[in-house]
Structure 1
Amino acid sequence: MKAFYASLDLGCSSLVTQQLQHMAIGATATQKGGRVTYYLTESLETLVHQTFLRLKLKEMMPIDGLIFFRMQQFLYGGGFDYAFLGEILDRGIEVHFAREGFSLYTPADLETAFPVIHTTELLQTSDIGAALQSLFGTDFRMALPRADHWDAQPPR
């Protein structure tokens, strides 16, 4: 059985309670063949740089993956923190996003998933026109791809 650390999202706790976040993350852990062995939450002071998670990664016991409540947790610093996500994947740690139903297993998955992550980043900055322009080369009101339909395949 896989062991996961889970990161709750303090930034959306007024919209989604920690109890609901626990439920979504727990369901993701079960779906991925494991269980959550440790929950962590950033404070308002550490949220932007994910300071607590970075410190925990230095001292943590071997785990199979991290489950974040949502991708937005990598956007609090202004832009998506590809470097930090890449560091996690380089260590052989799977990354799952419960809300989006989105998973990354290897550093190569980060490059493959760039369109989905970048679209999420554009949408989070409330620039739907730029998101559509980036995806389709025009601002037509076309259906955006949903991240919950993309899941990298775990290495065999």
Structure 2
Amino acid sequence: MSDFSHINKKGSPKMVNVSDKKITKRTAIAKATMFLGTEVIARFTNEELVTKKGPVFQTAIIAGIQGVKKTPELIPMCHPLLINGVDIDVNITDTEHIEVLCKVTIEGKTGVEMEALTGANIACLTIYDMCKSISQKMVIKEVKLLEKTGGKMDIKSPS
């Protein structure tokens, strides 16, 4: 159990104490891949689909940003953070799929991996919600951390 930073000596959950860590610039980039299907993708014009609920990708970007800011409310051991920036990009990658990239930046004592992963997920869930009247065959296929910088170690995964 000692390998887990969120478990105390008695085996109970705890929030990691970051008070002695140095403030550094930290970034994380997460990517989500989503199957929309040709039926949904075919309705997009100029990389956007406007539904009765509004513009799909623009709404998903705003929802993803909200998701980043709400991460500590959703994931119990995440620290509330003063987020410096969030950049979410949604792209159609082929006739059936989209990709969501979420980059989060802070100057703080702990990383923003969970915030980036949450932002990408919430953006995808919003796209699902806005397009489900067209098709319910959509699938959020993969969500992964691509990059993390700052803190103890940097990580760069193959995209």
The TM-score, its normalising length taken from structure 2, stands at 0.27
Rg larger in structure: 2
Bigger share in strand: 2
Higher helix share: 1
